[in-house]
Structure 1
């Protein structure tokens, strides 16, 4: 049995001061109750808020090493997240995280369609030091939390990302195929 791999979820919202609840928070609560997976949930509405949240995690959270998964929930398309009416490319995000995500899995919810080629994925992994980047290549009318929950639970069992993806596809082939689940390592 591997040690618990915590999840740090950062969601882009229109206004952090709004008390509107999104579908992500109940999914994270389900992860905690059903699978016992520790997670932190934060929102941001600007690039400065994103940078601040990640800086707090990277530099002030003594348990940072326990966070194996960075779960990013942002609107966007084609490898660009939208935040405060501006698009940020994965290359810009990679440069912000330069060398800071060693051994982490970066997972994007399906609100942003991941459209990476091998070269783009390798650039992101090389610059950030991440273990893997994952997300969805197809636009579907449902939020990916159903598949994300299963994926995160399997992350607790498997250190090898190839075995992890094989098991995910074995358990949820139709959903993985329909949503275009991708993982680059």
Structure 2
């Protein structure tokens, strides 16, 4: 691979005015130091904040094409995300970012169960232009997906073939993939 691909992480927090270093930030920093995977981290506490952050990345960052993974760390349910006690369906999110995520992998941490029908996943991909959507079918309050997320991100750096990436992820960390029910829709 000629150039690295970057990660844009957006984490939903109760209040963006309160600055805390979350587990996600610490692990993204480790990923950058240990494996050279560059990321940008932002927080949001409203749907407008989500839209504004992704919009700024899309329109203001001239390296947007280098961001392969949009990493969303937010709570929610099967087909929705929760920001500041409001639920937004992935269809609504898709419409907000219509055509703006071309070629990106949208990856959800296991704070939100990702359980989509094939039609729901295909709608999100078709409307946003995303290459794939991934996440986990199981949520555990005491087990974070961050370690598996880091491996997934690192493997995406090495290989453009998502099927190969997922196969290698399962070969190396089968028990964790099974426990958290890693899913990829493409």
TM-score normalized by the length of structure 1: 0.98
State the SS of the aligned residue for 2:170.
Answer: helix
Structure 1 contact 79–112 (Cα < 8 Å) conserved: no
| Alpha-carbon offset, residue 118 of structure 1 | 1.1
Residue number in structure 2 paired with 1:123: 123
* 1:11 paired to 2:11: yes
Residue number in structure 2 paired with 1:183: 184
Q: List aligned pairs for 1:58-97, cutoff 5 A.
A: 58-97=58-97
Aligned-residue Cα RMSD (Å) equals 0.9
Using the alignment, how far apart are the partners of 2:6 and 2:52 within structure 1? 20
Using the alignment, how far apart are the partners of 2:180 and 2:24 within structure 1? 17
Structure 1 contact 3–156 (Cα < 8 Å) conserved: no
State the SS of the aligned residue for 2:41.
Answer: strand
| Alpha-carbon offset, residue 2 of structure 1 | 4.6
Using the alignment, how far apart are the partners of 1:153 and 1:170 within structure 2? 15
Question: Which 4+ residue blocks in structure 1 deviate beyond 2 angstroms?
Answer: none
Using the alignment, how far apart are the partners of 1:115 and 1:26 within structure 2? 28
* 1:168 paired to 2:169: yes
With over 3 angstroms needed to count, the CA separation of the structure-2 counterparts of 1:26 and 1:43, relative to structure 1, is: same
Using the alignment, how far apart are the partners of 1:29 and 1:20 within structure 2? 14
TM-score normalized by the length of structure 2: 0.97
Unaligned runs of 5+ in 1: none
* 1:114 paired to 2:114: yes
Q: How many residues align?
A: 185
Deviations 1:124-170 (A, max 9, x none): 11111111100000122311101000000000011011111001101
| Alpha-carbon offset, residue 21 of structure 1 | 2.0
* 1:134 paired to 2:134: yes
Using the alignment, how far apart are the partners of 1:128 and 1:152 within structure 2? 21
Structure 1 contact 137–182 (Cα < 8 Å) conserved: yes
Using the alignment, how far apart are the partners of 1:138 and 1:160 within structure 2? 25
Using the alignment, how far apart are the partners of 2:101 and 2:135 within structure 1? 17
